[in-house]
Structure 1
Amino acid sequence: MAGYKKNMAQYENLEGWEKLSLGMQLDKWAIRYGNRIAVTDSEEEITYSELNQKAIGTGQYFMEKGIQKGDKVLVQLPNRISFVVVLFALAKIGAVPIMMLPAHRETELEGIIALAKPSAYIVAERYLGFYYVEMAMAMQKKFPCIQNVFVDGTQRGAWYEAETERQGVFPEVDSYSTAVLLLSGGTTGVPKLIPRTHTDYMYNARMSAKRCQLDESSVYLAALPVAHNFPLCCPGLLGTFDIGGKVVLAPTTSPDDILTAITEEKVTITALVPAMVTVCMEMLEYDEDYDISSLKILQVGGAMLEDSLADKIIEEWPCTLMQVFGTAEGLLSFTSPDDDVTVIARCQGTPVSPADEVKIVDENDEEVPTGVFGELLSRGPYTIDGYYMAEETNRTSFTEDGFYRTGDKAMWTGKGHLRMGGRIKEQINRAGEKIMPAEIEAYLCKHSDIKEAAVVGVPDETLGNRICAFILTEKGNALDVQAVHQFLKEIGVASYKLPDQVEIIEKWPLTSVGKVDKKVLVQMAQEKRGDYRDGIQ
């Protein structure tokens, strides 16, 4: 990228574009929605007015302790109300939270601290059996930039009830300044930092809420870690607050916590990744105590949704499936509740903003025809024009004219909808042939005994990469590589796309946000190896 800088002024006439900081947005919501319940977690619930007052007190406390406008602050809190308070407290100061996930440990922390040099670290005392304070103190000792560690536990009361001489007085915050630093979902190395401004991030949430047709009666369940872009802003927490709805924070991503929250809180919309949908469906099969009849929309994204699972959701769940393609870097594309069921079952919809610019290109950056897969590029009002302090990465991740290279394979359907085809970097080069895992996964899921499939490329001395298919079968039915080959040949799959190795798996290894962890699958395939060579064509 050769110095391209997005001109925010060109978007100022867009519906939903508002030059207010997130802290000022909360002030507005507190006046507008007052005593309505804003958010509830497993321990308490608070109104919009109470949330604003807690954010003001906490912001004053942090300023008195040294956090200043422009400071970077590591935030590593689970799904609880204190996360929401801290988010808005920092927004009022004009400090920038770095959105760590509860699952992150020293490796991720060290790389991010070295890059961003945060002045403070706000951390849970304990969560799911892990004691974070010891890790936080070790980071503070290793990195002198961390002047303060704030522990969400015994200190929390002092945050909320801060009494200072400057009560309610905060610095003026430019709405085009960075509001949050999100973490990229990259599969290698330390995550990249994604700077989102107050205005673009709120526009992101607002347009998502409009597509989801949210209103004051909406109850949104944040089932994924709320520091993640999907439950935070797509429409997530911010989009729900904007229309005066209620946010429910699930304490963990377990299916029991998710289904219990839907049942007890009468949730109307939630967002899950495909692997989480599967385990929830399994639990619903044998436990009749859950009631998900309140659900109006189930958003599914974060990873490819297999056609067979989409069909099953549409058939079995009492709500509208909304397929979601999104990047923390910006572009969001959803199906609509008003779309025909055939569109919802097979597409990821259309961009949420009329100002989104999307191109699908070949290896030479030439646009491909409708119906042909290529790489998805995007530019627009809420898509970033560069990662934080990553000049070398920016040169390869953005075009000269500012289009972000998503790294995702996509095509336009004849009716103008996006259909995704998986990550380009996951493409398997087997003996010179290029194979997309998502394509093979879709074929495998056509088999009556296969519930889910994940395909990975595994380093191989002879082939360069061999194809390994991991499959979850119905009721534990056994399938070997020969049976899989026979089925794929019967449905007309080319021989070079047949898996060299087939492994039955009982449970998917998952990432911190519930996606199938393909790095772990590659390691498992290397360890198993087996007699895969029997299947080489």
Structure 2
Amino acid sequence: MPLDGVVPHPPEAAARWRERGYWRDQPLRDVFDALCAANADRLAVRTGREDITYRMLIERASRLARTLYDRGLRPLDRVVVQLANDAPFAYLYLALQKLGAIPIMALRQHRYRELEQFIRLSGAVACVTPDRNRDTDFREIITRIHQAAPSLRLRIVDGDAPDGFIALADLLAAEPAATDADIAALRIDPDDPAVFQLSGGTTGIPKLIPRTHNDYEFNSRLAVGVCDVRPDDCLLDVLPIAHNLPLACPGMQGFLMRGARVVLHPSTRAEEVFPLIERFGVTHIHVVPALLIRWLNDPAISRYDLSSVRVIQSGGQRLQPETRLLAEKLLPNCTVQENFGMAEGLLMFVRLDDPAEVRLETVGRPICPDDEVRLVDEAGQDVADGEVGELLCRGPYTLRGYYRAPEHNARAFTDDGFYRSGDLMWRHPSGNYVVAGRRKDLINRGGEKISAEEIENLILGHPAVLDVACVALPHPELGEQMCACVIVKPGLPTPTLDELVTFLRAQEIASFKLPERLETMDAFPLSPVGKVSKKDLVAALSEVTP
């Protein structure tokens, strides 16, 4: 039986995925054990401080798994993981796979509001967080959550651990009582979740996306096949490792499957990244457009030998052709490969041998022959090639439902199992696809998706705000930034942007969700059916200098 709250693929579809070799019925534990044994003496993970072979990686992960077993962790236990791009993440990820426990991939920017919901919704028994990050003490946050979350038994921190907490470093150094035989005896169903990714949904806190062992292994295997990953290649992972792209598309997981190397680094600053590329002979890099733009305009780019870079994989947001052309001019051995992907499953990649004009204009095409894609109009009817429609998809690595969200699932999926993405696209004559916007009410800030509804509901709690509408406005680097449009209650002073941000910070939300522009209005433009017309709001604001 699948984990309660997980929507399985229909039996006839699952049988088809197995028959075609997509699902191999191997838990990720077995996949990692085999590839680490086959590549034992090769480098697996590099950091600025240490080189880690495949043998070292699996030995440390196995010891950590046995230590966590001693602490009571078992298959299907949920664990919130909020770690930086560093070696402990790799050890923990593999250790949880060996146990059949399910990591929930929280971002370092998440705060009380997000973490509390992840733990409460999932019934998480453990969390692994930093001790501090900038001005935030996560030990204080987790202590408050623990008081109201009876399921949470293990509070693990990367750093200083006060009473009631366990230091991750101590777990990594412990000599466990459990044996490898104890771990091998644990039964892991490949149809159960291997990981919970997070949605970029429009209805508030992200939903939990169950990615099974079968579909997540296939996801990475497919992505490796279209990114020209060779055994001697090296991936630089600087995007937050919790995201689907740097973790598994192909990401750390895919590069390990190929016996290649992964450089994990927690900063995206050019003065740190460029020396790593030169030092380690990096061949592949994951970026979002805002990051690539920043690097290309950094004077340091001319001071380092970046000739090893062969593929820059851009996702999370539409990349402008001018940026791609500049990157390939400054890095002449490099191809910028755009992709369109979602944590929910479907991946589209521009192929490296696509004609130049196709690589410039499109975000690629699905990477599996059994990825089913429909573009539909508002009535749910398929549109003709060249016409814009909402992307609907299903397939062997696309979810059939969010975790414990039956009401949302009824809206997010068609009766025959297609996921309603909310993304608007049209089909290019080449067979690739072009992004034309979205139907979802989201702000895409540098690849991070922000629910306008979530922030609007919080702003409505401000004592001076009568009504609010949050919209996306263009930004030269981030792609989009959030503008909060507010109507102030009569007779009350108008809050400043700084005052509004201070109010929102008190709600303990991720900092990337904070508005960067504030506009006050007497009334909002309305659509013919009486709803706020955000399209008209954006048009009006785009003509106003902030």
Q: Which residue of 2 aligns with 1:164?
A: 177
- Asked if 1 retains the 8 angstrom alpha-carbon contact of 2:365 and 2:432, the reply is yes
- What CA deviation, in whole Å up to 9, does each residue of 1:439-486 have, x standing for no partner? xxxxxxxxxxxxxxxxx9999xxxx9899854549xxxxxxxxxxxxx
* CA distance 1:466–1:116, change in 2 (3 Å): closer
- Asked if 2 retains the 8 angstrom alpha-carbon contact of 1:179 and 1:195, the reply is yes
**1:307, CA displacement in angstroms?**
3.0
- Alignment equivalent of 2:146, drawn from 137, 140, 156: 140
- What CA deviation, in whole Å up to 9, does each residue of 1:95-136 have, x standing for no partner? 111111111100101122221110111122344564322322
- What CA deviation, in whole Å up to 9, does each residue of 1:485-517 have, x standing for no partner? xxxxxxxxxxxxxxxxxxxxxxxxxxxxxx996
Q: Distance in 1 between matches of 2:32 and 2:358?
A: 36
- Asked if 2 retains the 8 angstrom alpha-carbon contact of 1:4 and 1:400, the reply is no
Q: Which residue of 1 aligns with 2:188?
A: 173
* CA distance 1:367–1:141, change in 2 (3 Å): same
- Alignment equivalent of 2:117, drawn from 111, 120, 125: 111
1:23-172 alignment to 2 at 5 Å?
23-128=29-134, 130-153=136-159, 154-170=167-183, 171-172=186-187
- Asked if 1 retains the 8 angstrom alpha-carbon contact of 2:79 and 2:125, the reply is yes
Q: Distance in 2 between matches of 1:275 and 1:518?
A: 16
Matched to 2:176, the amino acid is E
* 1:520 aligned onto 2:515: yes
- What CA deviation, in whole Å up to 9, does each residue of 1:412-458 have, x standing for no partner? 11121111112222599xxxxxxxx99xxxxxxxxxxxxxxxxx999
Q: Which residue of 2 aligns with 1:447?
A: none
**1:316, CA displacement in angstroms?**
3.2
Q: Which residue of 2 aligns with 1:19?
A: 25
Q: Distance in 2 between matches of 1:168 and 1:264?
A: 40
Secondary structure of 1:221's counterpart equals: strand
- Asked if 1 retains the 8 angstrom alpha-carbon contact of 2:358 and 2:430, the reply is no
Q: Which residue of 2 aligns with 1:205?
A: 220
Matched to 1:93, the amino acid is L
* CA distance 1:54–1:353, change in 2 (3 Å): same
Q: Which residue of 1 aligns with 2:403?
A: 388
* 1:423 aligned onto 2:438: yes
What is the total number of aligned residue pairs between the two structures? 460
1:176-187 alignment to 2 at 5 Å?
176-186=191-201
**1:245, CA displacement in angstroms?**
0.3
Q: Distance in 1 between matches of 2:113 and 2:471?
A: 30
Q: Which residue of 2 aligns with 1:336?
A: 351
- Asked if 2 retains the 8 angstrom alpha-carbon contact of 1:300 and 1:321, the reply is yes
**1:187, CA displacement in angstroms?**
5.1
* CA distance 1:42–1:299, change in 2 (3 Å): same
Matched to 2:56, the amino acid is E
**1:260, CA displacement in angstroms?**
2.8
TM-score, length-scaled by structure 2: 0.78
Q: Which residue of 2 aligns with 1:243?
A: 258
Matched to 2:431, the amino acid is G
- Alignment equivalent of 2:310, drawn from 296, 303, 321: 296
Range with bigger deviation, 301-310 or 251-260: 251-260
- Asked if 2 retains the 8 angstrom alpha-carbon contact of 1:41 and 1:251, the reply is no
* CA distance 1:535–1:379, change in 2 (3 Å): closer
Q: Distance in 1 between matches of 2:8 and 2:426?
A: 26
Q: Distance in 2 between matches of 1:9 and 1:26?
A: 24
Q: Which residue of 1 aligns with 2:209?
A: 194
Q: Which residue of 2 aligns with 1:271?
A: 286
Question: Is there any run of 5+ residues in structure 1 with no aligned partner, and where?
Answer: 429-436, 439-455, 474-514
- What CA deviation, in whole Å up to 9, does each residue of 1:191-242 have, x standing for no partner? 1000000111010001000001211111011110111101001100111000
Question: Is there any run of 5+ residues in structure 2 with no aligned partner, and where?
Answer: 1-6, 160-166, 446-451, 457-467, 478-509, 522-536
Matched to 1:124, the amino acid is P
Range with bigger deviation, 156-165 or 221-230: 156-165
- Alignment equivalent of 1:316, drawn from 305, 330, 336: 330
* CA distance 1:49–1:419, change in 2 (3 Å): same
**1:155, CA displacement in angstroms?**
4.0
Q: Distance in 2 between matches of 1:534 and 1:62?
A: 53
Q: Distance in 1 between matches of 2:238 and 2:30?
A: 27
* CA distance 1:379–1:289, change in 2 (3 Å): same
Q: Distance in 1 between matches of 2:190 and 2:148?
A: 34
- Asked if 2 retains the 8 angstrom alpha-carbon contact of 1:16 and 1:206, the reply is no
- Asked if 1 retains the 8 angstrom alpha-carbon contact of 2:128 and 2:157, the reply is yes
- What CA deviation, in whole Å up to 9, does each residue of 1:334-368 have, x standing for no partner? 01111111111110111111111111111111111
1:343-358 alignment to 2 at 5 Å?
343-358=358-373
**1:321, CA displacement in angstroms?**
1.0
- Asked if 2 retains the 8 angstrom alpha-carbon contact of 1:373 and 1:409, the reply is yes
Q: Distance in 1 between matches of 2:472 and 2:32?
A: 49
Q: Distance in 1 between matches of 2:168 and 2:541?
A: 59
Q: Which residue of 1 aligns with 2:319?
A: 305
* CA distance 1:366–1:64, change in 2 (3 Å): same
- Asked if 1 retains the 8 angstrom alpha-carbon contact of 2:66 and 2:178, the reply is no
* CA distance 1:150–1:335, change in 2 (3 Å): same
Secondary structure of 1:520's counterpart equals: coil
- Asked if 1 retains the 8 angstrom alpha-carbon contact of 2:109 and 2:512, the reply is no
CA RMSD after TM alignment: 3.0
Q: Distance in 2 between matches of 1:202 and 1:472?
A: 36
**1:181, CA displacement in angstroms?**
0.6
